[in-house]
Amino acid sequence: EVQLVESGGGLVQPGGSLRLSCAASGFTFTSYSMNWVRQAPGKGLEWVSYISSSSSNIYYADSVKGRFTISRDNAKNSLYVQMNSLRAEDTAVYYCARGNGDYPSFFDYWGQGTLVTVSS
Amino acid sequence: DIQMTQSPSTLSASVGDRVTITCRASQSISSWLAWYQQKPGKAPKLLIYKASSLESGVPSRFSGSGSGTEFTLTISSLQPDDFATYYCQQYHSYWTFGQGTKVEIK
């Protein structure tokens, strides 16, 4: 059974940093691209970042470019996002989502999400 | 950037109704479109990919159609479990979601 479990969310002050993790199991992690998608409270879904299976291709939404860094450790079946210079508008539930193949790909499995709150 | 526009934003319907949700892309995305269902407090769930391909395990009352810039998601006979918010997503050029359509009980 495919499982994606996010962790690392919490309350952080504006300008602060946070690192989210996503532990994957139940599939061959090295064969799939991965993504971060966020959802602000009461709002819709926003794609944040993509990383290919080998980490050779990485993309970011304009809203986080230069502040967020996506990475993966295929030996640990884990996906990460380092979030710096956080703003109030980054407050959201952050989901990791598996890409069905490499680019372009829809998202076939999602984690349960982890809440990030940016507030003083 | 490709913009995705869904209509309506909210839809009130009864059990057994046929429901149609429309999604329009700001430029052609061929058939690179997916549909997701999301219930409150839960992660999105994939329903349809490549505009009309039904994800394994998804009931056959869900169907998708369209290509280019106009797409539809149809639920042939609405069931109690279907009251949720639905999102379209283009994956032709990066990824963009529609703003969502909430299907409510009439």
Residue A101 is predicted with a pLDDT of 80
Q: What is the pLDDT of residue A23?
A: 98
Q: Supply the pLDDT for residue A102.
A: 75
Look at B44 and A45 and tell me if their CB atoms are within 8 Å.
Answer: yes
Mean pLDDT of chain A, nearest integer: 97
CA distance B45 to A104: 18
Does A31 have pLDDT greater than 80? yes
Using pLDDT thresholds of 50, 70 and 90, give the confidence band for residue B61: very high
Q: Which residue of A has its CA nearest to B49?
A: A106
Query: Å from A48 to nearest chain B CA?
Result: 9
Mean pLDDT calculated for residue range B52-81:
98
Cβ–Cβ gap A44/B55 under 8 Å: no
CB contact under 8 A, B95 and A35: yes
Q: What percent of chain B has pLDDT over 90?
A: 98
- Beta strands per DSSP E along chain B: 4-7, 10-13, 19-25, 33-38, 45-49, 53-54, 62-67, 70-75, 85-90, 96-97, 101-105
Compare CB distances from B97 to A45, A108, A110 and report the shortest one's residue: A45
String of DSSP letters for A67-110 = TEEEEEETTTTEEEEEE-S--GGG-EEEEEEEESSSSS--EEEE
* Residue type for position A56: S
Cβ neighbours around A39 below 10 Å, total: 20
Please give the Cα distance from A18 to A42 (Å, whole number): 22
What digits encode the pLDDT tens for the residues A59-111?
A: 999 999 999 999 999 999 999 999 999 999 999 999 999 999 877 899 999 99
pLDDT band at B34 (very low <50, low <70, confident <90, very high): very high
CB contact under 8 A, B43 and A50: no
